Amino acid sequence: MKQIFNYFYHTEDLTRDLDGLLLSVARALGLPDWTAVAVEVLGVILMICVFLALMALFLVYLERKAAGRFQLRYGPNRVGPFGLLQTIADAMKLFFKEDIVPTNADKLIYKAAPAFCFGSAFIALAFVPWSINVAPVDLNVGILFYTAITSLAVLGLLMAGWGSNSKWSLLGGIRAGAQIISYELSASLAILVIIIFSGTLQISEIIESQREGWWIWRGHLPAVIAFILFIIAGTAETNRTPFDLPEAEAELTAGYHTEYSGIRFAMFFLSEFLFMFLVCAIAATLFLGGWMPFYIGGLDGFNAVMSWIPPVVWFFGKTGFLIFVLMWFRWTFPRMRIDQLMRLEWKVLMPIGLLNLLLASIVALSRLYIFSA
């Protein structure tokens, strides 16, 4: 129990001890020092791969169970207890299913498209801090790098639409490109509000700036508006209902992944759930304090109890709540038309985001003036 407690609350010391241990082992074996760094990097990559696989399988299972509850029916309940092994069975089916490549497809672009989508989710996960000092990468411009990496996913969708040599796939790819690039602007405006309040681009420092209170509360009205904008834009960026126009079955068969099957289709399918997790994780990090506990000023006993809850539990609890909200959206709202989708962004969300950014700047400047006075 003591080791578990230290892992959650003194990770920086354990990381330093691990670095020293790996370095000592490498020198004892007569290996150069860079091998210790290589082993540590490979370990982080392996950890992220395992986490991605387990998280994707769990989210697929959770989505099916949530859909069953919303539609007053059973979710998966046949394979394994409570249907827990259903997603594993489906994954094995897709893994061994025949991979069919269209004859006239651009083979290189067609095969590289799923890797772009899955790879961008894999790299972006390295910037998400799960607990105190638990982030594989903590750059001083981490949030900027995160937005840049996640933007690469749209290239995979465009490549899939073009490389499949199918009119349905091409239309789906064009829709995906227009939708994701458009809604990235509103998401970026929402992120800029938190950057103004926190005064930093480093994700760990943004979390630390919320020690006196989460930004969704301390940022007042601008932070609340930014949070709502980010959730709406994030739902659109992940191509989830009611914004799943790039893969609208009634119009485009399956959109950009119409011609995909087997493991490549599974990569597109799992990427959607992984990006949903990333959007919710970043929303929890920027607006809800990430792994930071919930404190109330003046209530020392309450705050002491909150401090005993491990930070990693706080992080996954907040992220899980937001994931449930996105699933709630999917099984509540009907699909929009493509013209309604673009009108919502350019005529509603974008003007609100710009005005909210101006309001946040005024609030931040007024605070600076008050403290300096």
Distances (CA, A) of 351 to 178, 211, 216: 18, 31, 20
Peptide bond into 222 cis (omega under 30): no
Give residue 40's pLDDT: 67
| 70-76 mean pLDDT | 86
Is-contact 86 78, C-beta < 8 A? yes
Q: Is 125 helix (H, G, I), strand (E, B) or coil?
A: helix
Average pLDDT over residues 28-51: 72
- Taking CA 241 as the corner, what is the angle to CA 323 and CA 156, rounded to the nearest 5 degrees? 90
Rounded average pLDDT over 98-113 = 85
Sign of CA dihedral 344, 345, 351, 355: positive
Tell me the average pLDDT of the chain.
83
**Tokens describing residue 34:** 């860079």
The amino acid occupying position 115 is A
Mean pLDDT of 2-24: 48
- Identity of the residue numbered 258: T
Residue 25 binned pLDDT confidence (cut-offs 50, 70, 90): low
The residues, any chain, with a CB within 8 Å of residue 50's CB and separated by 6 or more, are: none
pLDDT given for residue 103 in this prediction: 82
Helix (H) or strand (E) holding 89: helix 86-96
Rg (CA), the chain: 22
Residue holding tokens 């940022």? 219
End-to-end CA distance of the chain: 49
Q: How far, in Å, CA of 141 to CA of 149, rounded?
A: 12
> What are 134's strand-pairing partners?
131
Structure tokens at 3: 């080791």
pLDDT 10s digits, 179-225: 888 999 999 999 999 999 998 999 989 998 888 888 888 888 999 99
Looking at the chain, the number of H-run helices and the number of E-run strands are 17, 0
Mark residue 197 as left, alpha or beta (left: phi above 0; alpha: psi -120 to 50; beta: remaining).
Answer: alpha
Per DSSP, the residues of 280-302 read HHHHHHHHS-TTPPP--TT-HHH
To the nearest whole percent, how much of the chain has pLDDT over 90? Answer: 21
- Alpha-carbon torsion (209, 184, 276, 53), positive or negative: negative
| Res. 11: pLDDT tops 50 | no
CA 196/CA 365 separation, integer angstroms: 10
Q: What is the reported pLDDT for 325?
A: 92
Checking 96-99 for CB contacts under 8 A at 24+ apart, the result is: 97/261, 97/262, 97/263, 98/261, 98/262, 99/261, 99/262, 99/263, 99/264
Selected residue with higher pLDDT from 225 and 106: 225
Residue 358 banded pLDDT, cuts 50, 70, 90: very high
